[in-house]
Structure 1
Amino acid sequence: MRRKRVAILISGRGSNMSALIEAAKAPDYPAEIVGVFSNRAAAKGLETAAAEGIATKSLAQSSYESREAFDDAIGQVLEAWQVDIVCLAGFMRIFTPRFVERWQGRIINIHPSLLPLYRGLDTHARALADKVAEHGCSVHFVTPGLDEGPVILQAKVPVLSDDTPETLAARVLVEEHRLYPEALRKLAAGEVRP
Structure 2
Amino acid sequence: MSSFGWGGLLIRIILNRVMRYDSKTIALHWATVALVLILWTIGQTADMLPRGPWRGAYWSLHFFLGFVFVAVLLLRIFWRSGRGTRLPPADKGILRTLAISTHYLLYALLVIVALLGIANAFAHGVSIFGLIKLPRLADHAVAESLTDIHGLAANGLLAIAALHAAAALVHHYLWRDSVLERMMPGDASRLK
TM tier, smaller: under 0.3
TM-score by length of 1: 0.22
**Greater strand fraction, Structure 1 or Structure 2:** 1
- Max Rg structure: 2
**Greater helix fraction, Structure 1 or Structure 2:** 2
TM-score by length of 2: 0.22
